[in-house]
Amino acid sequence: MPRLEDFETPLAFKVADDAPRASVDAADPHRTFQVEVRSLEGMQKEAVVRQLAPVGPTWRMACDEGPYLNGTDLAPFPLAFFAAGLHFCYLEQLVRLCRTEGIALKGLSSGQDTRYTMRGSALRGDMTGGGVPVDLDVAFETDADLSADAASRLVARALALSPGHAVMRDLFENTFALQLNGGAVAVGDQAASPNALYPDPLPGFDAVRATGADQYRADLVTKTDTVEVKHGVTGGAGSSLTAEQKRTLHVRSDATLGDDGLLVSDIRLFQPLGSSFRFLADAAGGDTAPPPLAYLSAGLGFCYMTQLGRYAHITKQKVRSTRIVQVNGYTQPGTDGETAGAAAVDTHVYFDADESDDVARKSVQMGEQTCFLHASMSAAHPTVVTASLNGQKIAVPSA
């Protein structure tokens, strides 16, 4: 099975992709991403993220897990991608609003804490993931004649316009399809996909090639600090592979707007004990870095894939290879009175395994049940925001 160690490529890069895309109106507020993910060795994964509507660049991203899942820790963990995308989604809208209203920013920084829960037993089948409302703080500086009330409205409006936060705020019934060893298998109690099985993405991965190096930043995703491996402590080595779980995960993101117009997020996994990574995103419509929703969509796919792999490990399944195709839709309106939205995620799962149809169905179900992000979409988790303008705290209306 391929390994990240064998790829002589950055952790994220722009793909030379000539695949046909749907033609859409550039003014259409809908954004659609297709994410193809395959399992690599251990807990490693790679994704190809295509922006289908409106047509945009294709990105390849690499994912791994830290010591808590006995990963090699070479690339960011799944929730890092989601946290970065979620944070970037909000800041992109705040920057856009400021530009629309002619407010020149002297500085913009923000902190975000995302937390998730895991409870129950994988062997009993009652292990369940859960979401927690996001804590978001934002501090911006400007010489513009901006009142505290006007700044408060900007902060709240940016949240309403963030499709990433709609994923946490709204309720969804996600859909699924399944293929086992090349044959279609009906899913169990989950909602069936309204679409016929997408083509198995496996053959396409070997053809992935980067564009010219001058077309994207080489440091889109980088590792900034390596966690010390600890055994026998909460969140330590192998702790997330136990069949019984009762824990809370905590991911911290600290983001700023750079002078070059790119957003920068430093992500740290506090619980379980994980390493730190830096992500870059484009908030101005350029394409030298991925847009926020590309990271967000990749995170959804990676998180679900990790849970498939974790469940297979705990239940000792004979799985040779796993792939998924996910389609994610978002609504990103203008700056007027509309609110951003998101669509249910459609996930098609492809197993090559010496297992029965029933085992494969159960895996798809447990993947959804234990995926932190799918679990977050099954309940309402409105974001809690605090803010300051030029060093002074301002009140922000609740969502």
Which CATH number characterizes residue 258's domain? 3.30.300.20
Range 171-176 average pLDDT: 96
Query: Per-residue confidence at 284, pLDDT binned at 50, 70, 90?
Result: confident
Per-residue pLDDT averaged across 253-258, rounded? 95
- Tell me, what DSSP letter sits at residue 210? B
Is residue 233, in this structure, part of any structural domain at all? Answer: yes
Strands 319-331 and 346-353: what pairing? antiparallel
In a domain, 230, yes or no: yes
DSSP codes, 7-32: --S-SEEEE----------TT--EEE
- Burial (CB count within 10 angstroms: exposed 0-12, middle 13-18, buried 19+), residue 361: buried
Identify whether 315 is part of a domain.
yes
Mean pLDDT of 303-327: 97
Phi and psi at 234, nearest 5°, equal -60, 125
Residue 364 lies in a domain: yes
Domain count across the chain: 1
d(CA 235, CA 242): 11
| Averaged pLDDT, 228-252 | 94
Q: Does residue 363 surpass a pLDDT of 60?
A: yes
The pTM assigned to this predicted structure is 0.96
Domain for residue 258, yes or no?
yes
pLDDT at 338: 83
Averaged pLDDT for residues 363-383? 94
Average pLDDT of the chain is 93
- Residue 20 confidence (pLDDT): 52
Domain that holds residue 225: 23-394
The whole-number pLDDT of residue 23 equals: 42
Using one digit for the tens of pLDDT, what is the confidence trace for 11-41? 999 999 866 544 444 455 688 999 999 999 9
pLDDT of residue 22: 42
Q: Residue 4 falls within a domain, yes or no?
A: no
Determine the average pLDDT of the residues in 138-166: 93
The C-alpha angle with vertex 152 and arms to 151 and 153, in degrees rounded to 5, equals 90
Q: What is the pLDDT of residue 397?
A: 78
**Structure confidence by residue, pLDDT tens digits, 89-137:** 999 999 999 999 999 999 999 999 999 999 999 999 999 999 999 999 9
Residue 6: inside a domain: no
Residue 17 lies in a domain: no
